[in-house]
Amino acid sequence: ETGVTQTPRHLVMGMTNKKSLKCEQHLGHNAMYWYKQSAKKPLELMFVYNFKEQTENNSVPSRFSPECPNSSHLFLHLHTLQPEDSALYLCASSQDIYRGDGNTEAFFGQGTRLTVV
């Protein structure tokens, strides 16, 4: 138990569906992240939020839409996805995003395994 909880753990959706991934952290952290993990590829950073404000959008297609209503919750809204979007989506949090104070280690959830059919 890392203090970061992701739901659902598994999701199968059609290309015309709309679904959302949820992430919740109980660590009092200020920063939250979405990563995409595809087979045989490095983890790809998708979005970064710090104090509920988006600080990074790593050229992610608009069919992925993040939402951060507060520092403890992060959503990833999905619509009209493609089969190549099938992957493990990992949420992470850290105390802060700035390296100056050293509190930048990330704590990860168990991920949502997404399959687009």
Partner 1 sequence: AQSVTQPDIHITVSEGASLELRCNYSYGATPYLFWYVQSPGQGLQLLLKYFSGDTLVQGIKGFEAEFKRSQSSFNLRKPSVHWSDAAEYFCASNNDYKLSFGAGTTVTVRA
Residues at the site binding partner 1, with contacts judged by CB under 8 A: 2, 4, 6, 33, 40-43, 45, 48, 55-56, 90, 92, 97-99, 102, 104-111, 113
Residue 3 C-beta: closest distance to partner 1, Å = 11
* 18-25/31-37 β-pairing: unpaired
* Beta bridge partner(s), residue 75: 22, 67
The DSSP bridge pattern shows strands 112-116 and 10-13 to be parallel
Minimum distance of partner 1 from residue 38's CB (angstroms): 11
Strands 112-116 and 107-108: unpaired
Output 40 or 62, the one with its CB closest to partner 1: 40
Work out how close the CB of 109 gets to partner 1 at its nearest, in angstroms, rounded to a whole number: 5
